[in-house]
Amino acid sequence: MNEDGLLELRNKLDSIDNELLALINERMKIVHQVGALKAKSGGAIYRPEREKAIIDRLEKLNKESNGSLNRAAIEALFLEIFAISRNIELPENVAYLGPEGSFTHQAAEGRFGAMSSYISISSIKGIFREVSTKKARFGVVPIENSSNGIVTDTINCLKQYDLKIIAEVVLDIHHTLATNCDKIKDIKRIYSKDIAFDQCRKFLANVGLDEVEQIPIESTTKAAKIAVEEEGSAAICPHVGAKLHNLPILFENIEDTDNNKTRFFIISDFENASSGNDKTSILVKFADRQGALFEFLKDFNEAGINLTKIKSHIVEGNSIFFIDFDGHKDDENVKNVLLKHSENVKVLGSYVKEINDI
C-alpha cells in the first residue's frame, strides 16, 4: 500500500475515533441524569442484570449485522464503559482477597474496570468486614474451585454477615512456574499456596520437581515476590503475578487439568432485580428430624425449581447446606417454597447466572 492510501485509512480511523469520543461523552451525560434519578429514589448504581441485558442485546445486534466482534470482545469493551460510567456517578471502592495480581484481583478488575479503587485485604472475613462497615462498596471473594471445592471461610462469612451476593465471576485459573534459575535442576525450593501445589502435582512430578522443598504461603503472587529475591527459588503463581515482580516464566499453564476454574462472588448491601436468567444461593439449616432434607428437596422439585448445587458444611458445630438453584428469589414458584421454609433458610442473593456449574 502506498503512503497516500495508508494516510487515507488513518484519517478514517481518526474520524471514527472522534465520533466514538463524542458518543461516549454523550452517554456519560445521560448516565449522570440516570444517576441523579437513582439518587432520589435510593436505587443502586451497579445493576448486573441491566448490564447483562445490554450485552445480550448488543451481541444479538452484532450477529445480525455480521459484525466481527465476538461476545468476549463486546463484554471487554462495554464492561469497561459501564465501570467508567459508575465511577463518574460515584467512585467505587472494591475490596479483594490477596495482594495485587492475585486471581481475586483479576476477577475484580475484570468486572469493575481500571478506574475503580481497589483495596487489598488479607482475609475473606476482612473483606466482609470492609463491605459491612461501608469502607468498601463491593467485595470480591472466592467461593469454589473446580478442583478443590467450596471455600469454607466464605460460607462462614455468608452466614455471619448480613450482606448479599450480587454477582458471580468465573475465572479460568492458569499457573506458571517462574524463577530466576536458568535450569530446572538449579531450583532448590518452590513457594506457592497449598491449593496451587495441589493443582500442579502432575507437572511437578513430570519435570522432576516433586522432591524439591515446597513452601506454602498465603498468596501465589507473594510467592513470586519471594522467589525473585531468593536465589535457587521458584514460584507457582499467576502470569500477572510473575510479570508484576519481573520474575522470568519458565513454564506456562502448568495446572494438571485444562478446565481449572474458580468461581467468585461479588458481595454488597443491596439486592438485584430479576434478569430472566438468574441463580439464587441460600444457606439451609434443617430441623433435626428424619426426612427434613427429603421434604425440602421434594418441595423444590414440585415447584419446578432446578437445584444446581448442594454442599454440606459444618459451621460452628452445626451441619449447614449451601444450595444454588436456577431462578430469582422473587419468582412466584421460588417465593412460595422459600416462605414455607423461611425459619430454616437464609437467602444469600439472586444474581445473573454466569455459568451453570464448575
Residue 164 grid coordinates? 448479599
Mean pLDDT for all residues in the chain: 91
All structural domains of the chain, each given as residue ranges with its CATH number in brackets, are 3-89 (1.20.59.10), 176-251 (3.40.190.10), 274-358 (3.30.70.260)
- What are the tens digits of pLDDT across the range 221-279? 999 999 999 999 999 999 999 999 999 999 999 999 988 999 999 999 999 989 889 99
Mapping DSSP to helix (H, G, I), strand (E, B) and coil, where does residue 333 land?
Answer: helix
- What are the tens digits of pLDDT across the range 65-102? 999 999 989 988 998 899 888 887 777 899 999 899 99
Q: Are 321 and 287 in contact (CB under 8 A)?
A: no
pLDDT attached to residue 31 = 83
Higher confidence at residue 309 or residue 47?
309
- Average pLDDT on 135-147 reads 95
Strand-pairing partners, residue 313, are 320
CA distances in angstroms from 165 to 160, 239, 358, listed in the order given:
14, 28, 18
Q: Are 328 and 165 in contact (CB under 8 A)?
A: no
Distance CA 286, CA 290 (A): 10
Q: What pairing do the DSSP bridges indicate for beta strands 278-284 and 345-352?
A: antiparallel
pLDDT attached to residue 289 = 74
In the block, residue with C-alpha cell 469493575: 112
Q: Are 155 and 263 in contact (CB under 8 A)?
A: no
Distance CA 254, CA 236 (A): 9
For residue 21, pLDDT over 90 is answered with yes
pTM over the 0.75 mark: yes
* Amino acid identity, position 212: V
CB atoms within 10 A of CB 234: 29
- What are the tens digits of pLDDT across the range 40-56? 655 667 888 888 889 99
Mapping DSSP to helix (H, G, I), strand (E, B) and coil, where does residue 117 land?
Answer: strand
- Average pLDDT on 110-119 reads 89
Residue 50 grid coordinates? 441491566
